[in-house]
Amino acid sequence: MKITLSPQRRDDLVTYERSNDSLMVNGELFDLSLVEEGDILPRNAIQSEFFAGDVTRVSGKLELTLILPNPANYSPLQAFPAPIIVTKNGLVELPKPLADTTKESVDEQY
């Protein structure tokens, strides 16, 4: 599975978990196994705000674009994410934000 990430500045969180040709998005399962070689599942047919583009299958592998919510302290890896090739089932590792120093700075004032 090849995932292209589309960064958006937003404060919500998302988890993606692969299970063969299915993707769990924040606990909601999307079965993509019916997408065959060369097929295109249009974005507007997918009832999730976290899909940012069509789903297709190229050379036997699913290719999709997903939203990557970026917090205020987003990192360069979140702002300009590289595509992710997911070969195993389980949680998809997403780029992490920079350390949040806001709380430390407030605590240091007291």
| Domain boundaries of the chain, sorted by first residue | 2-108
pLDDT value at residue 103: 57
Decide if pLDDT at 106 tops 80. no
DSSP 60: T
Decide if pLDDT at 108 tops 60. no
Q: Which of 66, 59, 63, 76 is nearest to 2 (CA)?
A: 63
Q: What confidence tens digit (pLDDT) does each residue in 56-85 have?
A: 999 999 999 999 999 999 999 999 999 999
> CA dist 1 to 10, 35, 57, 88, 93, Å?
25, 12, 9, 9, 13
Q: Rounded to two decimals, what is the model's pTM? A: 0.86
Over its C-alpha atoms, the chain yields an Rg (Å, rounded) of 16
Cβ atoms of 75 and 85 closer than 8 Å = no
53, containing H or E segment: none
